[in-house]
Homo-oligomer: A and B are copies of this chain.
């Protein structure tokens, strides 16, 4: 395999076009992932491509049937009007360089399918529970911030402090170089829990911006499942630390 390996799940990529890419990879509160997974489920997304990479964690996950799966990112298309591409998955890069390398590959895919605007979704950890989470926004150009605010997002000059880390930030920064528009929607969240309420707020702003109604009612359910999976992962982090101590021998 190459450091980044893309395998297409459709025969002719030319048959699939979308001008909008929505990114929802794992991150703070899994807000972005929750929204992206929800849209794929809700609107019957078609899998276009799978990405595996040396830059992903060196492990496999086990599903409910006991079947192992490599860490992966996936690109889906939902056939709404306009059609949407969704980038989701179960991991991001393990290294700083890998984030840049993977984002370039995401952008190559985006170009292949005709993307001109990118929405990146995420959480903004505030360290406390939030009853009515605001959705902060940032973009590669001022007009998009205005659009986001009109759709219910908040523009706060001092927030999020310190920028946007990982694919959600780099997709906009590196996408702008290729002439793609980019806007980040970040839901306030505690940072400690999978947060379907924050995800609901982000989904609402996003729906408004792309002009597509998406029923949020099953978000809560999806979040509960993900929460369970994450609990398991936290335990396994501890296993991994143990294991690191004994890899040599």
In the complex, the chain B residue whose C-beta lies closest to that of A100 is: B54
Tell me, yes or no, whether A229 is within 8 Å of chain B by CB: yes
Q: Would A125 and B157 count as touching, CB distance under 8 A?
A: no
Q: A59-B164, A96-B95, A158-B232 are in contact. Are A173 and B247 (CB under 8 A)?
A: no
Indicate which residue in B140, B234, B240 contacts A68 across the interface (CB closer than 8 Å).
Answer: B140
A80 to nearest B CB, angstroms? 26
**Stretch from A14-22, A26-34, A40-48 at the B interface:** A26-34
Chain B residues near A96 (CB-CB < 8 A): 54-58, 94-95
Q: Would A26 and B249 count as touching, CB distance under 8 A?
A: yes
A57 to nearest B CB, angstroms? 6
Chain B residues near A229 (CB-CB < 8 A): 249
Q: A235-B162, A243-B28, A243-B166 are in contact. Are A66 and B125 (CB under 8 A)?
A: no
Q: Would A66 and B246 count as touching, CB distance under 8 A?
A: no
A236 to B94, CA, bound (A): 19
Tell me, yes or no, whether A101 is within 8 Å of chain B by CB: yes
A164 to nearest B CB, angstroms? 5
Chain B residues near A249 (CB-CB < 8 A): 26, 30, 33, 90-91, 194, 226, 229-230, 233
In the complex, the chain B residue whose C-beta lies closest to that of A148 is: B66
Chain B residues near A173 (CB-CB < 8 A): 60, 68-70
Tell me, yes or no, whether A131 is within 8 Å of chain B by CB: no
Tell me, yes or no, whether A114 is within 8 Å of chain B by CB: no
**Cβ contacts A to B, 6 pairs, < 8 Å:** A1-B174, A57-B248, A58-B100, A65-B145, A68-B163, A226-B249
